[in-house]
Amino acid sequence: MATMEAYVLESYGGPEVLQRKAIPLPEPQGDEVRVQVKAVGINRADLLQRRGRYPQPGEKPPFEVPGLEFAGIVEKAAPGAHVHLKELGLQVGSPVMGLLSGGAYAQFVVTHPRLLLPLPEGLSFTQGAAIPEAYLTAWDGLLQGGFSLGKAVLIPAGGSGVGVAATQLVKAGGGTAITLSRTPRKVELSRDVGADRALLVGTDDVAREVREATGGRGVDLVLELVAGPHLVEHLQLLSPKGTVVVIGTLGGGEVSLPLGLLMAKRARLVGTLMRSRPLEEKMDLVQRFSREILPLFASGTLVPRVHEVVPWEEGPRAHQILEENQNFGKVVLEVAS
Ligand SMILES: NC(=O)c1ccc[n+]([C@@H]2O[C@H](COP(=O)([O-])OP(=O)(O)OC[C@H]3O[C@@H](n4cnc5c(N)ncnc54)[C@H](OP(=O)(O)O)[C@@H]3O)[C@@H](O)[C@H]2O)c1
């Protein structure tokens, strides 16, 4: 039986439970393709899954391999995949990036071609692996929040993978990006990637800075990555009829929310999750992203921010970097062939 190497979760716990193992090489069926993975983006969700707190949706696979995004080369196509590949301008041998609901920490993955994006011209595999989850999540959040030219967006956890992508997307869309971080170094780096105001939580007068940046109106949209008790503070910074899109709960998933504030602002509170979305919805989003946003990478308007590329053998260290909140932007695991 042909095998491949993958990081398999056989128990849950700290980074050390990530162990490389030989497991069966997956065979593409129906309209699927097999991609030889060159690099994998590490996400906060992977840390939760490793602790046994965020299982892959659907039936439990025989080998639990984490990983939501990858870049690599289309290596094999099942007979039904060719029509999709052709439609997308891809073929066996094309460099691609992709979104998964699990399984990317492996030398090969099997997926549907419509979940793939062509790797933009001039980008390396390690840069490509830093794109799908962060940029799709941020862009989808902006769409759900009604973002358009001239709008002001608050981005808590501005130094996270999603936060950096959001900052770049807001600037590319002609908006005002206001980021928050708890780490002075990340505040500086947020300015480097285009934030109009990058604020240090606990030190800067966030309310005053937001008023100044928005002509007293407040932000039109909060891309909520932190939540917990901070959700109320962020809601207070919202303009009338603004929207809070809850994407992450780094600061806590349980909140006590004064609904009077929500009502007085006539605000919208929206929750969103990428991983468990129906496949068709995900494919449509990926392909719309391909048409509308991907050209901005080829032109250099958007530049994936890779904090560190970690060698394949050092998967646990890649998790440690996120665990210790060291990263600004993405950590990428380079996959050995
Ligand atoms: N809804 C979805 O579909 C979806 C998709 C992707 C990601 N997400 C979520 O989006 C969030 C960001 O993910 P990511 O992978 O981009 O994160 P990441 O790269 O790991 O960055 C997280 C950063 O958030 C800050 N942080 C951590 N704990 C915090 C806390 N308790 N309070 C305030 N700030 C905290 C830290 O920066 P500082 O130095 O500033 O503290 C940390 O570096 C996560 O909650 C993730 O689960 C959701």
- Count of CB atoms situated within 10 Å of the CB of 298: 14
* Distance separating alpha carbons of residues 30 and 79, to the nearest angstrom: 7
CATH number at residue 86: 3.90.180.10
**Closest CA to ligand 1's atom 21:** 160
Instruction: State whether the beta carbon of 294 lies less than 6 angstroms from ligand 1.
Output: no
304: its two tokens: 């994936």
Residue 207 Cα to chain centre, angstroms: 27
Domain that holds residue 56: 3-131+277-334
Q: List Cβ<8 Å contacts ≥24 apart for 216-220.
A: 217/152, 218/152, 218/242, 219/152, 219/153, 219/154, 219/178, 220/145, 220/146, 220/147, 220/151, 220/152, 220/153
- Atom of ligand 1 lying closest to residue 140 CA: 3
CATH number of residue 264's parent domain:
3.40.50.720
**Cβ atoms 318, 310 nearer than 8 A:** yes
Query: Which residue's CA is minimally distant from atom 16 of ligand 1?
Result: 161
Same domain? 126 vs 138: no
User: Residue 320: what residue type?
Assistant: Q
User: Whole-prediction pTM value?
Assistant: 0.98
Q: Is 321 exposed, middle or buried (0-12, 13-18, 19+ CB in 10 A)?
A: middle
d(CA 307, CA 310): 10
Domain match, 206 and 172 both: yes
Pocket test for ligand 1, best of 40, 160, 322, 326 (most atoms within 8 A of CB): 160
| pLDDT for 59 | 87
The closest alpha carbon to 242, from 212, 262, 228, 213, belongs to: 262
Residue 270's closest CA among 296, 250, 288, 243?
243
Q: Is the CB of 68 under 6 A from ligand 1?
A: no
Query: What pLDDT was estimated at residue 303?
Result: 97
Segments of the chain assigned E as strands? 3-9, 18-24, 33-41, 69-77, 95-99, 108-111, 116-118, 152-155, 176-181, 197-200, 219-224, 238-246, 268-271, 306-311, 330-334
For ligand 1, say whether the CB of 183 is within 6 Å of any of its atoms.
Answer: yes
pLDDT of residue 325: 98
Residues of the chain with pLDDT below 70 are: none
Q: Report how far residue 171's alpha carbon sits from residue 167's, in angstroms, rounded to the nearest whole number.
A: 6
Q: What is the pLDDT of residue 336?
A: 86
What does the alpha-carbon distance between residue 215 and residue 66 come to, in Å, rounded to a whole number?
45
- Do residues 207 and 186 share a domain? yes
Do 34 and 158 lie in a common domain?
A: no
Residue 84 is predicted with a pLDDT of 97
How many angstroms is it from 70 CA to the middle of ligand 1? 19
Q: Domain check: are 255 and 326 in the same one? A: no
Q: Are residues 50 and 93 in the same domain?
A: yes
How many domains are there within the chain?
2
